[in-house]
Chains A and B, each alone.
Chain A
Amino acid sequence: MSNPYIVLPIILQLVAAVVLMFFWTKTKAQKTISILFSTAAVAVGVYMLHSVWHHGIQITHSGNWKAPFGITFVADLLAMTLILISSIAALGVSIFSAGSMREERLKFGYYPVFHFLVMGLQGAFLTGDIFNLYVWFEVIIISSFVLMTLGGKKAQLEGTIKYVSLNLLASSFFLTGIGFLYGLTGTLNMADLAVKMKLIENSGLVNVTGSLFLVAFGIKSAIFPMYFWLPASYHTPPPAVTAIFGGLLTKVGIYAMLRTFSLIFGGDEFMTFITSIIAALTILAGAFGAMSRKHMSKIFGFLIISHIGFMMVGISIFSEAVLVGTVFYLIHDIIVKTNLFMVSGLVMKINGSQDIKALGGLYQSHPLLSLLMAVPLFSLVGIPPLSGFWAKIFFIQGALSAQNYLLVGSVVIGSFLTLWVIARVWSEVFWKKGENLPKQANGVYFDALSNLQQWAYIVPMLLLSIISLYIGLGAGRIITLSQKIASELVDPSLYIQLVLQNQLP
């Protein structure tokens, strides 16, 4: 079905950014405008997901240039679900930043750049054109560079060097892959590519191209041999920025892999072999890294890597059962990881430290807040019936039926190690008897903040916690949604047919 208004999520964020640019130095107005627009984006997301669920895939050809010549935007269930989830996470971060960002950072245009970043994410989810996907990726990374350096502290600059250089390298790989694809098929539309790649006999060349994309998206989503930039850089910017990065940036890489492997490089044994080894090693490397750290944000950074490995399980086996798990995990992970970095930001604000050895006694001093923070921590572990649990059933079930015992083992070990890490964080930070940490004379701590600012910390965590509880307790609906998405991913013929309908006889 053709619907010219499906680009609305992108436009909304762009309008938000442009309006915010007119209020460059007026920080109070910026906070209000950003929260209003983010709320509107969530509303639009809900409405559009509802409409796609009932009326099927919707497309628009920008500039009225028919596929495969123009840039097509496709709103299918996967794209719309991720748009809704990412705009919820963005709403949370927008409120959180209103409380936690320093004035001087806001004056350097934090909010406009933040909305440009979210616009890039929405665009990457919606586009049906591989080169356009590259452009959205560049929009995302250039905004993330700015967010990461904003403030210009020493550690931030150091982390950014690593982040920038590896992302630029990934972009070159991505572009090389696009060049190969264009040379092989003469088209860039993903639906058209899906048709034309099936006709190519030289499977070696296809695999090389696939590997280039795997490396490019792999660097962006931090899979096994290419994740070193993440723990070196993600803990350096302010907690609000880390929340949006940890929640969304690596997941875009996973989304891009799902899309390209579903449409373009699907069903090759060599790639299955490579990606299942990568998945297993990513899970283990991330979990071991998290065990070795004592800094809360660094622990969570390594946990991102470990859980990217879980999602790679779906990409490597690519059967419907496992993909249900991957999609479910994607939905759960965006919300929980965003929430988790907000937790670490709040702990930092309460005590002025993130060293779990030094911290302690949080449960005694702030019992209600601790309960709130327990929700994301234990959702992440996946204690039934919280949200992380359901996806893992599908991973294990699917991997068993594909007889891939390597992945079964690593998923089980990875889950246990995550449990161990979270239990350690919980007992060290919340249960252990705390000693009074030295407080900086000019520092402003959580208890000294005004009521409004305290609520700006609590409301987004409450919002995201409620949603992750809903994902866990109302899992039936999310599983139905994931099953429909997974069946669309395994058999994308409807997608292809709808995009190319003017071409087929």
Chain B
Amino acid sequence: MELLLIFIIGLLHASGIYMLLRRSMFKMIIGLILLGNGVNMLIFLLGKLTKGHPPVIEDGAKIFTEIYADPLPQALILTAIVIGFGLQSFAIILIKRVYQVLKTDDLDELNSTDEEI
């Protein structure tokens, strides 16, 4: 399971960075989304996987009696997903507006703010 996750994380990062380096604005956003998902998986993996033991205390018991999955990485990922969702949806609306105003999807043409004066 760990090995599979490692490959998936590598794949997500690689494809995310590949997409980031393209000239199209839309592909850049896709790259950022893929990268974000890769990072979430990474946190999940680094939080150590435990199969089949939800972190729920049995009825009647006061403490955990056996090994349990760490709930914290899941909370972190949930937070990161919600935040990422907000940021990414903002970015998508933004590139739609930019496309409407500037009539281009090519990042190389967005250089007027860097020019002198």
A/B touching: CB–CB < 8 A = yes
- A158 contacts B43, C-beta separation under 8 Å: no
Tell me, rounded to whole Å, the shortest Cβ–Cβ distance linking B13 to chain A.
9
Partner of B43, one of A162, A169, A175: A175
Asked if A432 lies at the interface with its beta carbon under 8 angstroms from chain B, I say no
Given the interface contacts A131-B79, A168-B32, does A182 sit within 8 Å of B98 by beta carbon?
Answer: no
Which residues of B from 28 to 47 have beta carbons under 8 Å from A? Answer: 28-29, 32, 35-36, 39-40, 42-43, 45-47
Which residues of A from 342 to 396 have beta carbons under 8 Å from B? Answer: 355
| Contact string against B for A residues 169-212, beta-carbon threshold 8 Å, 1 for contact and 0 otherwise | 10110011011101100101000000000000000000000000
Residue of A nearest to B42 (CB): A179
- A155 contacts B79, C-beta separation under 8 Å: no
| Contact string against A for B residues 1-42, beta-carbon threshold 8 Å, 1 for contact and 0 otherwise | 000000000000000000010000100110010011001101
Tell me, rounded to whole Å, the shortest Cβ–Cβ distance linking B101 to chain A.
5
- B46 contacts A180, C-beta separation under 8 Å: yes
- B113 contacts A155, C-beta separation under 8 Å: yes
Cα A142 to Cα B20 with chains together (Å): 20
Which residues of A from 286 to 313 have beta carbons under 8 Å from B? Answer: 293-295
- B42 contacts A176, C-beta separation under 8 Å: yes
Asked if B114 lies at the interface with its beta carbon under 8 angstroms from chain A, I say yes
- B43 contacts A168, C-beta separation under 8 Å: no
Residue of B nearest to A138 (CB): B83
- A161 contacts B25, C-beta separation under 8 Å: yes
Q: Which of B50-58, B61-69, B87-95 contacts A (4 or more CB under 8 A)?
A: B87-95
Cα A33 to Cα B35 with chains together (Å): 41
Asked if A157 lies at the interface with its beta carbon under 8 angstroms from chain B, I say yes
Residues of B within 8 A of A146 (CB): 90
Asked if B116 lies at the interface with its beta carbon under 8 angstroms from chain A, I say yes
Partner of A145, one of B28, B45, B90, B98: B90
Residues of B within 8 A of A500 (CB): none
- B46 contacts A183, C-beta separation under 8 Å: yes
Q: Which of A2-10, A15-23, A84-92, A231-239 contacts B (4 or more CB under 8 A)?
A: A231-239
Cα A142 to Cα B91 with chains together (Å): 10
Residues of A within 8 A of B86 (CB): 142
Residues of A within 8 A of B112 (CB): 154-155, 158
Residues of A within 8 A of B110 (CB): 158, 161-162
- A138 contacts B87, C-beta separation under 8 Å: yes
Count how many pairs of residues, one from A and one from B, have CB atoms less than 8 Å apart in the complex.
Answer: 104
Asked if A135 lies at the interface with its beta carbon under 8 angstroms from chain B, I say yes
- A233 contacts B90, C-beta separation under 8 Å: no
Q: How large is the interface on B (under 10, 10 to 19, 20 to 34, 35 or more residues)?
A: 35 or more
- B32 contacts A231, C-beta separation under 8 Å: no
- A157 contacts B116, C-beta separation under 8 Å: no
Residue picked from A134, A146, A172, A235, most chain B C-beta under 10 Å: A172
- A175 contacts B94, C-beta separation under 8 Å: no
Asked if A152 lies at the interface with its beta carbon under 8 angstroms from chain B, I say yes
Partner of B83, one of A135, A149, A179, A232: A135
- A142 contacts B102, C-beta separation under 8 Å: no
- A182 contacts B76, C-beta separation under 8 Å: yes
Residue of B nearest to A160 (CB): B94
Which residues of A from 102 to 155 have beta carbons under 8 Å from B? Answer: 131, 134-135, 138, 141-142, 145-146, 149, 152, 154-155
Cα A131 to Cα B113 with chains together (Å): 34
- A165 contacts B28, C-beta separation under 8 Å: yes
Residue picked from B46, B47, B113, most chain A C-beta under 10 Å: B113
Tell me, rounded to whole Å, the shortest Cβ–Cβ distance linking A148 to chain B.
10
Residues of B within 8 A of A142 (CB): 86-87, 90
Cα A157 to Cα B43 with chains together (Å): 33
Cα A145 to Cα B93 with chains together (Å): 12
Residue of B nearest to A145 (CB): B90
> 9 closest Cβ contacts across the A-B interface?
A183-B46, A179-B43, A138-B83, A157-B98, A175-B39, A179-B46, A168-B32, A158-B110, A159-B113
Q: Which residues of A contact B (CB under 8 A)?
A: 131, 134-135, 138, 141-142, 145-146, 149, 152, 154-155, 157-162, 164-165, 168-169, 171-172, 175-176, 178-180, 182-183, 186, 188, 231-233, 235-236, 293-295, 355
